[in-house]
Structure 1
Amino acid sequence: MCGIAGYLAFKSVSAEAGAVALKAMCDSIQHRGPDADGMFVDSDTGVALGHRRLSIVDLSETGAQPMTSPSGRYCIVYNGEIYGFLDLRQKLIDHGMSFRGTSDTEVLLASMDLWGIRKTLDLAHGMFAFAVFDRHSNRVVFARDRLGKKPLYLGIKGGHLLFGSELKALRAHPAFGAPEADRRAQAQYARYAFIPAPLTIYRDVMKLPAGTLVEVKLDAPPMSSEDLVDGLRTFWDLPDRVEACRADPYGDEAQALSGIEDALLSAVGERMVADVTVGTFLSGGIDSSLITAMMQEQAAGKVTSFTVRFDHDATNEADHAAAIAKHLGTDHHEVTATPEMAFDLLRTLPNVYDEPFADPSAFPTLLVSQLARAQLKVVMSGDGGDESFGGYERYVRMMAMERLSAKLPGPAASALAASPAFVTQVAAKILQPLAPASLRAQITPDRLSKVASIARHRDFRSRYDALFTLWDPPLADCQGVFRSHQIPDRLNPVDTMMLLDSELYLPESILVKADRASMSVGLEIRSPLLDDRVVEAAWRSPDSLRYDGKSGKVALRRLLDKRVPKALYDRPKQGFGIPLNDWLRGPLKSVAQEVFASDSSVGEMFDRAQLNKRWNEHLSGARNWGPHLWVALMYHFWQEEWLR
């Protein structure tokens, strides 16, 4: 696990000047690889490749990068881990290849020498982003892993192609110039609290989408980031794999459950291969508990586990995590998240994330990463279970909304969505006694208004996009990505939501959060549930093992039942976030008030009257607008840090 950066000048450069610019780029991401650095500058072609190393596999110099292939044809800088690389290494040895060290980087390069870049991508299972210079064909190829676990940014600035694991690396190059925000990206951020690929917050900078590569010929420089987007090629396509899996399902539930268990045990075992100790994040939920249990089964000693505690019942799962840790016998550690910590980190988060990003759970993710990094370099997480196994509570809510949408006329829904807070409060009071007892707590003014804003749309994809939408985009032509993203037409609604989440929400929000938070302190996160073979096993399974109409993660629950008493984990899903609504009315109120009252950047991105209305309703308790206000707040602090 590391950080990469570099540039293509498309002309000869002096070795000295080229190294100075490259070093500045690498230094900006030193946190991703604090153990060592390395640089390669080809003066004749103007290719510069830089690397910051976090030593995990092959701690010796034989694992250092940039690294050249045995034939001398390829030179690579690579961020990530190839799991099961020892099997691939043996295949290469069987073909007559030899190795100096034990790193997966050397295996990648030997595979490229023998089979080429494209076939190597088919054989490489794991998380990765790389830039490889092919001297024979005078080109540089950039690629990102199948599900988008590792990031890669590319930009055209001042006649150069700049690239890096984080945007700050591109900004460190003198050719970047004055930053210009991309209005399309601003609109998508306001809508979703994240920026979907290939957009980034900057003009003429793109991020490589998951499962894609782009080839840049040194004698045909791209003129803009749009040229790079036009040149994208897919080497692994999740919608295609989903269709293939649905066409070749497991024979029955028993076979499917066995297939999922085998794939997941293998994925966990492969991710335990390291020359340093591997720990785990344990929230107490189904995903992280199952991963921790499977780790402990395969570990020689006690697994070290970490969690975050909140002094807030609605968000605190630490007691559950501690009980599961005790049952499994892990060496368990906690950090307590306080509002004061959040206040201190408000101005830190924009530097960690580089572009506007407003998932409130970034805060506890950063805290637990700091806790783990004090002891270890590598941890596992349960990311990926919700998207492949139907685990999000919003799937249940969305299907309930579908039934309501069929009965609620569009004009009535639109009127309710636009109603003042007191109208939805009155409506909630009227409807609560009429609803089943199990649903009464769910009928709140916030949810009624959200349901109405969703139900007014007349097609399912638009309704799902509305579920994610926080602010109406400032650009009239800003398309909703959950509505327009291309996926197969024949999927049922739950499968449609799972696939959209896997292609959009997972790589652009969940994995961005995890990567930047962990790598800001030099910590590697490995996610077995995001192994593409586990994902495919999930999609080959019958619906009854994923989302059974009432709840999701049926298969994962059954696998966990074999390892942990149900009483320790069987409870409503709580998520992993801060008590944002309460904190904005309490300890974070003054800083938010100052931002929203001033003539600041939020006035450029958000309608001032609407922002003030939501802030006042939030303070009064009439509505909970925490996530919406957090989007505006995070944009303000990002702009203060970067758009100058």
Structure 2
Amino acid sequence: MCGISGLIDLRKETSHARLSETGQAMAQAMWHRGPDMGEVWADANAGIAMAFRRLAIIDLSPLGAQPMRSSDGRYVMTYNGEIYNYRDLAKDLARRSYKFRGASDSEVILELFARDGIAATLPRMVGMFAIALWDTQTRKLVLVRDRLGIKPLYFGRQGNHVYWASELKAMRATSTFEPKLSPIALDGYLKGNVVPAPACIYQDLEMLSPGHYAEIDTAGEISRHCYWSMAQFANQPIATLSEEEVIDQTESLIADAVKLRMVADVPLGALLSGGVDSSTVVALMQQAADRPIKTFTIGFGASDYDEAHHAAAVARHLGTDHTSLDLSPQDALDLIPNLPDWYDEPFADSSALPTYLVSKLARDQVTVALSGDGGDEVFFGYNRHKALGQIERRVSAVPAPMRRMGAAALAAPGPAIWDTLAQFMPESKRPRMLGTKVQKLSRALAAGTPDARYLDLVTHWPEDLTGLNIPGQLPDGPVLDPSARAAYADTLGYLPNDILTKVDRASMAVSLEARVPLLDHRLVEFAWTLPTELKIRNGISKWPLRQVLYRHVPQTLVDRPKSGFAIPLGDWLRGPLRDWAETLLSQDRLKSRGWIDPAPVRQAWKDHLNGRGARAEALWGICMLEAWAERWMGKP
């Protein structure tokens, strides 16, 4: 895992010394992504500088250093990520009599690019990656991002300069880039609490879409190409396999994905929450290992949000070398001022705080950690995947007025009452944040179509705060049932924009490489051949994944209501964060900034303090927007 960046002066007026200096500044801004070394390659005749920060994982010697030049001298490459099947790819090069200089995956893919080209090589690569490849002959730059969007890559042209980087702070380290807010990106952020790719919070920049590469020519013209598409696999014929064959194939694919991701020349472990996804990954890691693997969990004491005891039970059963750390809420609260620095753009998934803390805990002992992220998108694990299918089956024929009456009845008590009622339920059956979930369900019932219901569930501010009146929409794709349609949208949007962004920035902030075996593209492609009724079976989500896990861990240790990696955000905003939030949400501040209409925000804040609204996540989004703006755009 590393950080890549660079720029091109299209007028070719920048000296070699100045290009190198700028490249160094861009790399230094991302020092945390690669503390082991940093280098810059520059060519004043072409006006280009390519910068790199290295976190050495494979081939720790200088022979794995970047920027790396191909053996024929034509191509220069920087690359962030890991190619897990590089040894098999290397055998192909060896059969063609290539003499290796080192033992890195970087050298393997660079030489394949040089010999076979980008289009022929990318389908052969199994891994996570963001790549910048410069052709010294044609003076064309190619930027590549992996299929699911695990690794980030921003790029764009502003004036006479082209920029690209793993993080936006690298662009801001140059003297030429001018940060200007994108109103469209801001509007998208307010809907989902994350900036929706390919938009970027700054005008003139974008996030390269997953499964795409971009070519930039000598005139700065950009062309974009798709080399892998979810739509292709979401629309393929349904597999005709027995249940046992489905479970066997699912386990085989996950086991291979896990085994490939255990290759490293540095200490390796896993992040374990005790849920289905991370427990499955850890179980298959331990099966493949010849010694107890290191696992890590954090907890928040006696809080209802603490899952550390579940993780410890799974770890004991599997025999891992487990480390668990109990933290106080103050440990998480103390990190809030750092969030704008870690994320560069406004980012309001509050689970970024525990994700950072568990990454920091792991980094004390390992350099690489596997996680269970992606299982919910691949195997339809979110509550909304199940709920949308149930709503469509049960209430689609109910007249709209009656649906709205039912929705109003659910919403009337308010989230605080629902949360109180939840305390009377057995812990094993008690859903976390019941009040928030009931509020979301009430809105979904009132919506008219499955797509409208999905958008309502994932939209934090349905109010038009920016005045742009941009309607939300699901990504284009095949016609699917409501559950599959929601999972498809989550895989293309929520997964890369929120989950993977969170994991990348939180882990990289402490120089930890996070690997996600459940997003191996071969597993993703196979999962989309399975019918929805096999993924959500008799009301149980992620059925194939659960059956794999039950082969290794007793069902009683992992079966409980889905909770996620959450914090008690609503309570914190009413308690220890109240003064901080009040400052960021003040009428005068929001009005002075001039980006959004303060009135709906102030009303939501008032309702939240009085326990009448389930808007904690939405309000957190405004707080994070203001905190980001103060850090990167100045006080209003």
TM-score, with structure 2 as normaliser: 0.93
Alignment of structure 1 residues 186-585 onto 2, 5 Å = 186-218=186-218, 220-222=219-221, 228=222, 231-244=223-236, 246=237, 249-403=239-393, 405-406=395-396, 409-410=399-400, 423-425=412-414, 446-447=436-437, 449-472=439-462, 473-475=464-466, 479-481=470-472, 483-489=473-479, 491-585=480-574
- Matching residue of 1:137: 138
Q: Unpaired segments of 5 or more residues in structure 2? A: none
CA distance in 2, matches of 1:474, 1:611: 9
State the alpha-carbon separation in 2 of the partners of residues 456 and 439 from structure 1.
26
Could you tell me which amino acid in structure 2 is paired with residue 590 of structure 1?
D
Change (3 A) 1:312 1:392: farther
- For residues 322-346 of structure 1, what are the alpha-carbon distances to aligned partners after superposition, in whole Å with 9 as ceiling and x for unaligned? 1111111111112334321233211
1:587-614, Cα deviation, whole Å (9 max, x unpaired): 1122112222352247644432322222
Deviations 1:287-323 (A, max 9, x none): 1011111111111211111111023543211001011
Partner secondary structure for residue 334 of structure 1: strand
1:192 & 1:409 partners in 2: Cα distance? Answer: 29
Q: For 1:361, give the aligned amino acid.
A: S
Instruction: For 1:426 and 1:29, locate their aligned partners in 2 and report how far apart those are by CA, in whole Å.
Output: 41
2:41 — aligned with what? Answer: 40
Contact 1:465–1:480 (8 Å) recurs in 2: no
Q: Is the 8 A contact 1:141 1:214 kept in 2?
A: yes
Provide the C-alpha distance between the structure 1 equivalents of 2:316 and 2:439, rounded to a whole number of angstroms. Answer: 43
Does structure 1 retain, via aligned residues, the 8 Å contact 2:23–2:50?
Answer: yes
Aligned residue-pair number = 626
CA contact (8 A) 2:250 2:548 kept: no
Is the partner of 1:600 in helix, strand or coil? helix
RMSD: 2.6
In 2, Cα distance between equivalents of 1:161 and 1:67: 21
**What letter corresponds to residue 124 of structure 1 in structure 2?**
M
Deviation at 1:443, TM superposition (A): 11
Q: Secondary structure at the match of 1:599?
A: helix
User: Matches of 1:464 and 1:367 in 2, distance apart?
Assistant: 31
For 1:428 and 1:372, locate their aligned partners in 2 and report how far apart those are by CA, in whole Å.
Answer: 38
Q: Assess, with a 3 A threshold, how the Cα gap between structure 1 residues 109 and 444 changes in structure 2: closer, same or farther.
A: closer
Residues 66 and 75, structure 1, Cα contact 8 Å, conserved in 2:
yes
Residue equivalent to 2:51: 50
1:624 corresponds to 2:614? yes
Output the CA distance in 1 between the equivalents of 2:506 and 2:416: 41
Q: CA deviation at 1:278?
A: 1.1
Cα gap change, 1:58/1:312 in structure 2, threshold over 3 Å: closer, same or farther? same
Residue by residue over 1:451-473, the C-alpha shift from the partner in whole angstroms, topping out at 9 and shown as x without a partner, is 34333432211221111011024
* 1:371 CA displacement: 0.8
Whole-Å separation in 2 of the counterparts to 1:221 and 1:462? 39
Structure 1 residue 517: Cα displacement: 0.4
Instruction: Tell me if the contact between 1:146 and 1:210 (Cα under 8 Å) persists in the aligned partners.
Output: yes
- Aligned mates of 1:181, 1:187 — CA distance in 2: 11
SS of 1:371's equivalent in the other structure is helix
Aligned partner of 1:225 in structure 2 is none
Distance 1:282 1:445, change over 3 A: closer
Q: Does the 8 A contact of 1:308 with 1:318 survive in 2?
A: yes
What letter is aligned with 2:220? P
How much identity, in percent, do the aligned residues show?
40
Distance, in Å, in 2 between the alignment partners of 1:260 and 1:364 is 29
Aligned partners of 1:2 and 1:52 also within 8 Å: yes
Q: Counterparts of 1:451 and 1:139 in 2: how far apart (Å)?
A: 50
Distance 1:554 1:87 in 2: 32
Alpha-carbon contact 1:141-1:216 (below 8 Å) kept: yes
- How far residue 555 of structure 1 moved from its aligned partner, in angstroms, is 1.1
The gaps in structure 1 that reach 5 residues or longer are 223-227
Asked whether the 8 Å contact 2:298–2:324 carries over to 1, the reply is yes
Structure 2 equivalent of residue 182 of structure 1: 182
- The answer to whether the 8 Å contact 2:439/2:614 transfers is no
- CA distance in 2 between partners of 1:532 and 1:447 (Å): 31
1:154 corresponds to:
155
Where 2:588 maps in the other structure, the secondary structure is coil
